[in-house]
């Protein structure tokens, strides 16, 4: 990455650009399709954030490859939707959090695909980062995306008026750091469980850490921009995040069996090839599908507290089990 003055000038230029354009100026409620609208919004913000960094080649190309080749963008969408539940002025913090959580997610995918981990060749229908740029560059691309996430989160990127309350930013940093640590712990447990018989409690511990923690973090980083720590909305959203995060992983396990490589954008059937511990392997395909639906219903029940204002979260939660990849 370039020196600090390079980054400061880049961010200054970016702040001017964002302020002078009419696009993506706030976190407004999404009326039609929450996920589609969020995908458009985050794609712009990811590009703006990436362009604020001065990166040497081939690292720059590898980072853009990891981040900008698409994806469902479920985590940023959840962050936006949670932040939209209440009126507030912390829009910039919610936008930064959405970028940061997607950077962490993309870093995790780059490392997950490495030969020393899952050794995958396809991601989002394209060659994985290490296939395209080499294992050394891919490793460093993942490393720098992690640090870039926290640099964005604690910056003034997207600020247009007064800066966001520092206590909000500190909460977001704590949430994302904790989730990132849990994600790595979950990955270790997942690798250790390959080829072994484990029970459902052990499997859930793996996936609440590996997958669920970052999904819940996306929701809670949005939530703290809109609610105080003592608001009853916070435990409701935490419960929603726990259940929808696990439902996401259970459905992922199902898709690995019932979908194709072309539809998934990654190698189908890989879990069985490496004897990975999954819900269909543990309880059977049909029961795994039923369990995912049960988790989704528990997640939706937590949203009852918010009534109509939670329609975006409701829509995204419904997508989790209707998606094909």
Per-residue pLDDT of 262-300, as tens digits, reads 887 777 777 777 778 899 999 999 999 999 999 999 999
pLDDT of 22 reads 30
pLDDT above 80: residue 207: yes
pLDDT above 80: residue 186: yes
* Ranges 36-45, 64-73, 212-221, most confident: 212-221
Report the pLDDT averaged over residues 236-261. 93
Q: How far apart are CA 292 and CA 31, in angstroms?
A: 27
CB 303 within 8 A of CB 313: yes
Per-residue pLDDT of 129-150, as tens digits, reads 999 999 999 999 999 999 999 9
pLDDT of 15 reads 38
Kindly indicate the confidence band of residue 222, based on its pLDDT and cuts at 50, 70 and 90.
very high
pLDDT of 18 reads 35
pLDDT above 50: residue 29: no
Nearest to 168 by CA among 97, 82, 78: 97
pLDDT above 90: residue 94: yes
Kindly indicate the confidence band of residue 215, based on its pLDDT and cuts at 50, 70 and 90.
very high
Query: What is the CATH T-level fold of the domain 4-322, as seen in this structure?
Result: Farnesyl Diphosphate Synthase (1.10.600)
CB 93 within 8 A of CB 223: no
Kindly indicate the confidence band of residue 199, based on its pLDDT and cuts at 50, 70 and 90.
very high
Q: Chain centroid to CA 116: how far?
A: 23
pLDDT of 19 reads 33
Domain boundaries of the chain, sorted by first residue: 4-322
Report the pLDDT averaged over residues 203-207. 95
- 127 phi, psi to nearest 5 deg: -55, 140
Proportion of the chain above pLDDT 90, given as a percent: 68
Contacts of 111 by beta carbon, 8 Å cutoff, 6+ apart: 117, 139, 142
pLDDT of 17 reads 33
pLDDT above 80: residue 9: no
pLDDT of 151 reads 97
pLDDT of 70 reads 84
Mean pLDDT for all residues in the chain: 87
Kindly indicate the confidence band of residue 74, based on its pLDDT and cuts at 50, 70 and 90.
very high
Q: Which long-range contacts (CB under 8 A, 24 or more apart) does 17-25 make?
A: 17/48, 18/48, 18/158, 18/160, 19/160, 24/95, 25/91, 25/160
- Within 194-284, where are the H helices? 200-207, 213-226, 233-258, 261-264, 270-273, 279-283
Report the pLDDT averaged over residues 223-232. 93
Q: Is the model more confident about 4 or about 157?
A: 157
pLDDT of 325 reads 76
């Amino acid at each position: 990455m370039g020196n600090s003055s390079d980054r400061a000038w880049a961010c200054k230029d970016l702040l001017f650009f964002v302020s002078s354009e009419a696009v993506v100026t706030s976190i407004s409620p999404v009326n039609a399709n929450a996920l589609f609208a969020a995908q458009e919004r985050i794609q712009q913000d990811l590009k703006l954030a990436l362009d604020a960094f001065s990166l040497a080649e081939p690292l720059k190309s590898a980072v853009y490859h990891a981040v900008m080749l698409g994806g469902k963008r479920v985590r940023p969408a959840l962050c936006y939707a949670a932040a939209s539940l209440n009126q507030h002025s912390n829009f910039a913090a919610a936008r930064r959090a959405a970028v940061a959580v997607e950077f962490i997610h993309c870093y995790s995918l780059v490392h997950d695909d490495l030969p020393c981990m899952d050794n995958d060749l396809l991601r989002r229908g394209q060659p994985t980062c290490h296939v395209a740029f080499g294992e050394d560059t891919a490793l460093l691309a993942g490393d720098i995306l992690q640090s870039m996430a926290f640099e964005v989160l604690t910056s003034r990127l997207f600020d247009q008026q007064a800066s966001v309350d520092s206590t909000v930013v500190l909460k977001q940093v704590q949430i994302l750091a904790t989730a990132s640590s849990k994600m790595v712990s979950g990955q270790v447990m997942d690798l250790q469980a390959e080829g072994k018989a484990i029970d459902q409690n052990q499997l859930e511990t793996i996936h609440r850490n590996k997958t669920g923690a970052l999904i819940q973090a996306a929701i809670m980083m949005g939530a703290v921009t809109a609610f105080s720590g003592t608001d009853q909305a916070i435990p409701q959203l935490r419960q929603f995040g726990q259940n929808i995060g696990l439902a996401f992983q259970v459905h992922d396990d199902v898709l690995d069996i019932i979908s194709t490589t072309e539809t998934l954008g990654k190698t189908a059937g890989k879990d069985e090839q490496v004897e990975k511990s999954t819900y269909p392997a543990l309880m059977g395909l049909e029961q795994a599908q039923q369990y995912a639906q049960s988790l989704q219903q528990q997640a939706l029940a937590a949203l009852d507290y918010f009534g109509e204002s939670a329609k975006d979260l409701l829509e995204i939660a419904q997508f989790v089990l209707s998606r094909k990849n």
